[in-house]
Amino acid sequence: MSRIRRGYEDRFRALLRRARARRREQGVQWLVAKARFLSARDGISLADALAQVYERLAARQFFQPSAPGTDPSHFLCDAGLGGLARWLRAAGYEAAWQPDIDDDELLREARRVAATILTTDAMLMERRLLRDRIIPAFWLPPTLSIPEQLALVFREFGLAVRSPRCMTCGGELRRVAKEALQERIPPRTYRWLDEFFVCGRCDKLFWHGTHWQRILATLSALK
C-alpha cells in the first residue's frame, strides 16, 4: 500500500507544481488525509480513495497545463482591466488592452497573438474556447485594487519583475542620450535627471520621475 500511496503523492506533487501552488508538501499531505477520510467514510480501499481524489483534482481547470504554444508573458486584458494592463507593462510584460473590444473580438485576438486572457467576467470564462483551455484565461475577482490584481497575476503565473516596457503601448524602451532629446524634455527635468528612455514602438519619452518611484515601490513589494 505504501508504494501506491507514494505513487499518488508524486502525482499530487506534480499537479500542485503545475498549478504553481505554494506550500506543496502541505498540500500533498492534506490530499492524502482527505483520501483517508473518504476511505473510512465510504468504506472503500485507500487506493480507490486516492484515485478518486486525484481524478477530481486533475479534472479541475486550475490544474490543466496551459495551451501549447502560448507565450506566458503576453496577456490580453478585457475591457475592465486597462489599469492592470499598464502595470503589467511597467513590470516588463506585454499586455494588450482595448477599451471597447467585444468578447468575440477579444477571443479572436487572443488566438491570433497566442496570449493569455485576463478577465473579471465570469460569463466570458464559460465560453467554450476558454472552458476547454483552447485559449488560456485567468479570472480575477472584480473587487480587487490594481496592485492586488497585479500581485494575483504574478502569483498565478510565477512571474518576476523584468525591465519595464512602455506603459502606453507595451513596446520596448531603449535608453537614449539626453542631449539627443533636449528639445523634448522639460528644462527642469533635463537639469535634474540623466536617464531617459524612448519607446521603440510609439516613440513616447519616459524618465524615472515621482510616478515611476511609486510604481517601483509597488513592484518591489511583489518580490
Name the residues that contact Zn ion, by CB under 5 A.
166, 168-169, 171, 199, 201-202, 204
Angle, vertex CA 115, rays to CA 112 and CA 116, nearest 5: 140
SS3 state at 175: strand
* Minimum distance from residue 167 beta carbon to Zn ion (Å): 8
Cβ neighbors of 24 (< 8 A, separation 6 or more) are 13, 16, 17
The rounded distance, in Å, linking the Cα atoms of 144 and 140 is 8
Q: Nearer to Zn ion by C-beta: 89 or 127?
A: 89
The rounded distance, in Å, linking the Cα atoms of 25 and 9 is 9
Q: Nearer to Zn ion by C-beta: 47 or 169?
A: 169
* Minimum distance from residue 97 beta carbon to Zn ion (Å): 13
* Minimum distance from residue 85 beta carbon to Zn ion (Å): 12
The rounded distance, in Å, linking the Cα atoms of 52 and 47 is 9
Q: Nearer to Zn ion by C-beta: 8 or 207?
A: 207
* Minimum distance from residue 129 beta carbon to Zn ion (Å): 29
> Do the Cβ atoms of 80 and 100 come closer than 8 Å?
no
Q: Nearer to Zn ion by C-beta: 24 or 204?
A: 204
